[in-house]
């Protein structure tokens, strides 16, 4: 089951390769936000893995909050298997770019 989830996530990531850049020129790092949109871009979306819960909207969140949350998922301090696997390979620059993108949009 875990392998199927990982393969589905990898296929989605490759198929939807939207790139964004942080507004801060010093922190420019191309990132793929398509992997975020899959769950966080659907209004009212409810995820059933690892348990059923409402997926929060990212657009309009504070950048600092998003950075802290992604860093916590990356380190394992925040527990969620899917988010951990997404955040684990991200660099600090990519996390900052994702946070800047969502903080600057209402999507």
What CATH number is attached to the domain comprising 47?
Answer: 1.10.760.10
Angle among Cα 85, 90, 92 to the nearest 5 degrees reads 140
How many domains does the chain contain in total? 1
Backbone angles phi and psi of 31, in degrees to 5: -135, 160
CA 55 to chain centre: 12
Q: How confident is the model at residue 5 (pLDDT cuts 50, 70, 90)?
A: low
State if pTM tops 0.85. Answer: no
More confident residue, 57 or 2: 57
For residue 33, the enclosing domain spans 2-103
Count Cβ atoms below 10 Å from residue 38 Cβ, excluding itself: 18
- Judged against a pLDDT cut of 70, whether residue 86 lies above it is answered with yes
Q: How confident is the model at residue 16 (pLDDT cuts 50, 70, 90)?
A: very low
Q: What is the mean pLDDT of residues 98-104?
A: 91
Decide if 19 contacts 31 (C-beta within 8 A). yes
The residue whose two tokens read 């390769």 is: 17
Q: Across the chain, what does the average pLDDT equal?
A: 76
What is the tens place of the pLDDT at every residue in 47-82?
A: 776 667 778 888 889 999 999 999 999 999 999 888
Q: What's the pLDDT at 35? A: 83
DSSP string, 12-30: HHHH---EE--SSGGG---
Q: How far apart are CA 46 and CA 49, in angstroms?
A: 9
């Amino acid at each position: 089951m875990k392998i199927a989830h990982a393969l589905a996530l990898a296929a989605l990531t490759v198929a939807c390769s939207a790139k964004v850049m942080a507004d801060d020129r010093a922190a420019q790092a191309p990132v793929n936000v398509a992997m975020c949109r899959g769950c966080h871009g659907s209004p009212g979306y409810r995820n059933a893995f690892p348990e059923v819960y409402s997926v929060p909207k990212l657009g309009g969140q504070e950048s600092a909050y998003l950075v802290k949350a992604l860093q916590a998922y990356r380190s394992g301090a925040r527990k969620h298997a899917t988010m951990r696997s997404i955040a684990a390979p991200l660099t600090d620059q990519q996390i900052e770019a994702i946070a800047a993108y969502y903080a600057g949009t209402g999507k």
